[in-house]
Structure 1
Amino acid sequence: MSIFKFHCRLLRCVSRCFTATTIISYPSTRHDDYTKLEDEPQTEYTNTKRTIILDLDETLVHSTTQMPGVRYDFMVMVRVETEVMPIFVVKRPGVTEFLERLGESFEVVVFTAGVEDYASQVLDKIDRKGVISQRLYRDSCTEVNGRYVKDLSMVVGKDLGSALIVDDNPSSYSLQPENGVPIKAFVDDLKDQELMKLVEFLEICYVYEDMRDAVQDFLAN
């Protein structure tokens, strides 16, 4: 087991000891590759939920207009100009548990370059318990050199240290690359375990004073 994975498991145990009203403090120094919670001194900062921003396509699901090579989970109907087209959707393994576990500690937001007619139907299907608190679609993206880029300040304003984005396409978060957690693109590998690997790291990110430090630690391991 790597030292980083050990830290993740340790901090998961520590985090269960805190409730939403627990008063915590964040030290300004770094120890053992992460910023740890201290018992004292106390400050007025409480463990208000931080924000995890998630991409949709190839991060949480894979969608195609053609019948996929594996069993699809559901289908949505999307209007394209004057035609209504079926879209076949394959959920990434573990997506339901992933969302529910994140919802215990974070505000969960989906920011997708997909159009609302399509993406809203997919999110309704995969988020039955209403974990996702905010949805942003293509019309909220910023176009840069012909690409759709997600400006995280639209979600958290100037408080960029309080948020991370998980996306299979690094160019999507090129305006704030230090906030980006890359993930392998999902297509049809039903044995894929990337979400379950990632959730252990994400569950302890709120104990960092600045969540961008968590990204640096994650990418260094």
Structure 2
Amino acid sequence: MKKPQKPKSLNLCFFALPPSENPEKPTIFLDLDETLIHSSADLPSKPFDFVVRPKIEGETMDFYVIKRPGVDEFLDFLSKKFEIVIFTAGLREYASLVLDNLDKNRVINHRLYRDSCRELDGKYVKDLAQMGRDLWKVAIIDDNPNSFSFQPENAIQIKPFIDDLQDNELSKLIRFFDACDGVKDIRDAVKLFAHDNLQQDLLD
């Protein structure tokens, strides 16, 4: 009598995101804290936009949130041309409440939190290769270079936002993405943006 054969092991790859509803659209991954907003557990000296009260490890905490200037227009602009994914190293309990307030028009397609990051040497890395998207159609915008250390060629490092209400970084990005519309490999456009930014910093 033949012994029953063991089933062949399947080499399955599980992605953090479901398949794109519109594969023709490139995907923009956006960080949250210090990229789109700034939040603090202390009452800020400048006006804030809203408060969230997550329960973290059984304790309810207050976070006062200031939106980066132009964030509403930025998200609305991106939604017309891109799939928008928020990818934050923040805890889900906190970040989900911030996004509920920030995304009033529901233009964000997906949300990823700390549990979708990879931990490396105590730092949280956002591995775009595990998202189920072609890397030539992907860009990530983040203030922390550790976050995109696996795919730096896909990254636009934005200046951190704290409370400068004259900040215009998101307006710059609108002009950039508008100008690079139709670029085949978004990484080429990202490289050009980084070069132009470096030249501008040298002139300032």
The TM-score bracket by the shorter chain reads 0.7 to 0.9
Query: Are 1:62 and 1:90, in contact at CA under 8 Å, matched by a contact in 2?
Result: yes
Give the corresponding residue for 2:148.
Answer: 173
Which deviations, in whole Å up to 9, do the C-alpha atoms of 1:167-208 show, x marking residues without a partner? 011110000010000111000001111101111112343412
Q: Tell me how far apart the structure 2 counterparts of residues 214 and 59 of structure 1 sit (CA, whole Å).
A: 20
Match of 1:189 among 154, 160, 164: 164
Give the corresponding residue for 2:90.
Answer: 114
Match of 2:131 among 155, 174, 178: 155
Q: Tell me how far apart the structure 2 counterparts of residues 80 and 116 of structure 1 sit (CA, whole Å).
A: 10
Q: TM-score, normalised by structure 2?
A: 0.82
Give the corresponding residue for 1:219.
Answer: 194
1:217/1:47 Cα in 2 relative to 1: closer, same or farther (>3 Å)?
farther
Which deviations, in whole Å up to 9, do the C-alpha atoms of 1:121-164 show, x marking residues without a partner? 1111111111110100000000011000001123244x100000
Q: Tell me how far apart the structure 2 counterparts of residues 61 and 196 of structure 1 sit (CA, whole Å).
A: 15
Query: Are 1:164 and 1:211, in contact at CA under 8 Å, matched by a contact in 2?
Result: yes
Correspondence 1:19-34 to 2 at 5 A: none
1:138/1:47 Cα in 2 relative to 1: closer, same or farther (>3 Å)?
closer
- Please give the secondary structure, in 1, of the residue aligned with 2:131: helix
Q: Tell me how far apart the structure 2 counterparts of residues 205 and 172 of structure 1 sit (CA, whole Å).
A: 24
Q: Tell me how far apart the structure 2 counterparts of residues 173 and 82 of structure 1 sit (CA, whole Å).
A: 31
Give the corresponding residue for 1:201.
Answer: 176
User: Which deviates more from structure 2 when the two are superposed, residues 55-64 or residues 202-211?
Assistant: 202-211
Task: For structure 1, list consecutive stretches of 5 or more residues without a partner in the other structure.
Answer: 1-45
Q: Tell me how far apart the structure 1 counterparts of residues 157 and 105 of structure 2 sit (CA, whole Å).
A: 26
Q: Rg: which structure is higher?
A: 2
Q: Tell me how far apart the structure 2 counterparts of residues 205 and 57 of structure 1 sit (CA, whole Å).
A: 26
Give the partner amino acid of 2:141. Answer: V
Q: Tell me how far apart the structure 2 counterparts of residues 184 and 88 of structure 1 sit (CA, whole Å).
A: 20
Q: Tell me how far apart the structure 2 counterparts of residues 119 and 171 of structure 1 sit (CA, whole Å).
A: 19
Task: For structure 2, list consecutive stretches of 5 or more residues without a partner in the other structure.
Answer: 1-21, 197-204
Give the partner amino acid of 2:169. Answer: E
Over the matched positions of the two proteins, sequence identity in percent amounts to 52
Q: Tell me how far apart the structure 2 counterparts of residues 155 and 95 of structure 1 sit (CA, whole Å).
A: 24
Q: CA deviation at 1:112?
A: 0.2
1:79 aligns with 2:55: yes
- Runs of 4+ that moved beyond 3 A: none
1:105/1:67 Cα in 2 relative to 1: closer, same or farther (>3 Å)?
same
- Please give the secondary structure, in 2, of the residue aligned with 1:124: helix
1:138 aligns with 2:114: yes
Please report the RMSD computed on the Cα atoms of aligned residues, expressed in angstroms.
Answer: 1.5
- Please give the secondary structure, in 2, of the residue aligned with 1:52: strand
1:91 aligns with 2:67: yes
Q: Tell me how far apart the structure 1 counterparts of residues 145 and 29 of structure 2 sit (CA, whole Å).
A: 14
